[in-house]
Structure 1
Amino acid sequence: MYNRTSFYIVLGLIILAGIGVTQSLVSDPIVFLQTIAGFVLIAAVIFFIVNRFYKANPMKQEQRSFHKAAKQSKKRFQTKSQPLTSKRSSVGSISAARKKKKDAPHLTVIEGKKGKKKNRASF
């Protein structure tokens, strides 16, 4: 019984909303279009703000990097486990492989002072 009443309430609200939108469109279409444009503009601003903060989450970047590394590792192990039955014979395929752009590494080497000796005072 509860489901039937909620269905009729929602149906009544939808019908009243349709009547209101139609009446507003017929009586003053310019104001109606301005109102709709305002709602769309506000929704777009909220969407971009939420999307901006969601993308700034460092955990998402780490997950993306992890999935990328896992995919590369899986691909490398699959190519090692397969026997090498055919070799490249065409020069075009070798040049195409050389032209393939590689991603920049996300890890950098920081030069230290390993080669320098410490200046120690002797007694």
Structure 2
Amino acid sequence: MNIKKFVFYAVIGLGAFGLISMIVFEPGSLLRMIVTYALIAAVIYGIVRFVMSRRGNSRENSAYKKAVRQSKKKYQPAKPSASKVKRIQPAAQQRKPAKKASAARLNGPKLTVIEGKKGKKKKRMTL
């Protein structure tokens, strides 16, 4: 057994011994310590999220938001106007086709290219 494994198992064993002794002799302080660590972690997480959200004005992020807006506008179902609304016919005329292709396959993937080298040709190997 090399020294690194011995040190690792010794640290784990001492930690387990300390945790068990704290549970047996001082359960209140263990609970207080857990709550304190949870609050500190929540505050640090909140600060990091706030700082990262304020940095969101980069060029890539704005290009992504623009592409999302365009995609939503393109694929959003059109709302019928009052003049184009048709009356619903009786149930006899509202037959559904026997087999219908899924909407996802008909419309294709909803992808938008944000940036890319559209004019550059690929280098191909010639024989």
Tell me the TM-score normalised to structure 1 length: 0.50
Higher RCO, 1 vs 2 (CA within 8 Å, ≥6 residues apart):
2
Report the structure, 1 or 2, having the larger helix content. Answer: 1
